[in-house]
Amino acid sequence: MNEQLKEKIDLLVKNLEARNRSERLLILGVVLATAVLGYLTFSFDPLRAEIGSLRSQVSVVGSQIAAQQRASAAMLETSQQDPNRFANDRLAVLAREQAVLDEEINNLAGNLVTPDEMTAILTTVLGRFTGLELQNFSNLPAKVLREDFTADNVTV
């Protein structure tokens, strides 16, 4: 087989030597162009395609890194906020509501007197009159005045 290849190469060289100089240059140019095109087709183009693929992967990974950095910054910002902020805001709202309700109760109660205050008032009033003496005074526990009255019936 080696012998056959050698014979073919010798035949090709003799054929090439039989040609004039311009034909040999043209054949050399065609052979070089074929070699360059073969290199471009079989080596360079696949490498260029792989480089393009790798560049797009780098771009995708870069955007993923940027997204992760944004998420990390958002988490860091969230972690630095007061964890009791919601509870404190709710407490402030409830305190305002309580103040409003306390004011409404004071407005509804008007001039009502507590049982302890009643003892002092009654003693003062009875002390103005001669001949009257307070023998005994006790505060009784609260009791329902109306049986059909419940906390659900209250309208303000």
| Number of Cβ atoms within 10 Å of the Cβ of 27 | 13
Whether residue 134 is predicted with pLDDT greater than 80 in this model: the reply is: no
Whether residue 156 is predicted with pLDDT greater than 80 in this model: the reply is: no
**What is each CA distance from 137 to 114, 117, 142, in whole angstroms?**
14, 13, 16
Single pTM value for the model: 0.36
| pLDDT confidence tier of residue 65, bands split at 50, 70 and 90 | very high
Domain ranges of the chain: 2-79, 85-136
**Predicted pLDDT at 152:** 58
Dump pLDDT digits (tens) for 10-56.
888 888 888 888 888 888 899 899 998 888 888 888 888 888 999 99
